[in-house]
Amino acid sequence: MIRLAVETPLGGLCVSHGDLTLAELPAIRLTWLAPWPGEARAMSHALQAAHGVHFPEPGETLENGSTRILWAGRAQALLAGPAPATELAHHGAVVDQTEGWAGLRLEGAGAAQVLARLCPLDLRGKAFPPGRTARSLLGHMNAQITAVDGGLELMVMRSMAGTAAAEIEEAMRSVAARG
Amino acid sequence: MLIPCPLCGPRDLREFSPRGAAVTLERPDAEALPEEWHAYLHLRDNPAGATRELWWHGAGCGAWLIVERNTVTHEVIGVSLVTGEPEQ
């Protein structure tokens, strides 16, 4: 019998230019949560009970062990890691988006400088410290940008993974060339 | 131009799409008089100065915003989230 291997959107990409490194994030279960109108508080309580995190405020990320939750827009969040508790579906839309996203991690002292060429946000550590996340643009792509210790994590729609990697690498090359 | 999104904070113009005058939030009833529909559809103001517009923060939080701004100076006077369900 043929066994099919699961492939990540970028096939485990890892490139370096100067002190900058761009690597694909390992596949992780992602669940999109959107509380029904008036159910935001109940959803937050259900999340706290089941996963130990509350529903994030705008721009907030929370962690509890291997569970992460990212604010992902008005009344929306992405739960990363665990399988969602069934109670969550009583309070809102719960959709598995694991296959829908591609994740990248950009590390190095000039990471914010690289993304300054692609993204309208100020992503320097002072303005965008670990624990913050934002929906914004990466070139022409909508992206979820999250600050983590030592770098930035970027998520784009899976169909745009190749373009995102190419554009970031191009910007990395230019920043690295400037020394 | 920066638009101060109530959820995301001040954001660059390229994250937003203009969606016209905010009069579309006050759509007449289906049974409204033809004159009312005519006024709603065709008789729009074109102010030089303060105006009330809808902007969609599509590349950000996805919220629809009511942006009050000055068309002469580009000053943004106020921004609020569009709330509530459209009338059926």
Q: How confident is the model at residue A4 (pLDDT cuts 50, 70, 90)?
A: confident
Question: Of A58, A59, A137, which is closest to B15 when you measure between CB atoms?
Answer: A137
Residue B87 located in a structural domain? no
List, for residues A134-163, the tens digit of each pLDDT value: 999 999 999 999 999 999 999 999 999 999
- Whether B11 shows a pLDDT value over 90: the answer reads yes
| Smallest CA–CA distance from B63 into chain A, residue | A74
Residue span(s) of chain A under CATH 3.30.1360.120 come to: 14-26+100-178
Structural contact between residues B2 and B13, judged by C-beta atoms closer than 8 angstroms: yes
How many separate domains does chain B show?
Answer: 1
Q: Tell me the pLDDT tens digit for each residue of B43-55.
A: 999 999 999 999 9
Average of pLDDT values for A25-44? 95
**Among A76, A115, A135, A142, the residue to mutate for chain B (most B Cβ within 10 A):** A135
Which of the four CATH numbers 3.30.2320.50, 3.20.20.10, 3.30.1360.120, 3.90.79.10 does domain A14-26+100-178 have?
3.30.1360.120
Mean pLDDT of chain A: 95
CATH class of A30-98: alpha beta
C-beta pairs of A91-95 under 8 Å, 24+ apart in sequence: A91/A35, A91/A36, A91/A39, A91/A42, A91/A43, A91/A46, A92/A33, A92/A34, A92/A35, A92/A36, A92/A39, A92/A43, A93/A32, A93/A33, A93/A34, A93/A36, A94/A31, A94/A32, A94/A33, A95/A31, A95/A32
Interface contact flag, B9 A59, Cβ < 8 Å: yes
> B79 and B68 in contact (C-beta within 8 Å)?
yes
Mean pLDDT along residues A13-29: 95
Chain-chain contact of B8 with A134 (C-beta, under 8 angstroms): yes
Report the residue of chain A nearest B10, measured CA to CA: A121
Domain limits, CATH 3.30.70, in chain A: 30-98
CA separation for the pair A111, A138 (Å, rounded): 13
CATH of the domain at B56: 3.30.2270.10
Give pLDDT tens digits for A101-141. 999 999 999 999 999 999 999 999 999 999 999 999 999 99
What's the domain range around B41?
Answer: 2-25+32-81
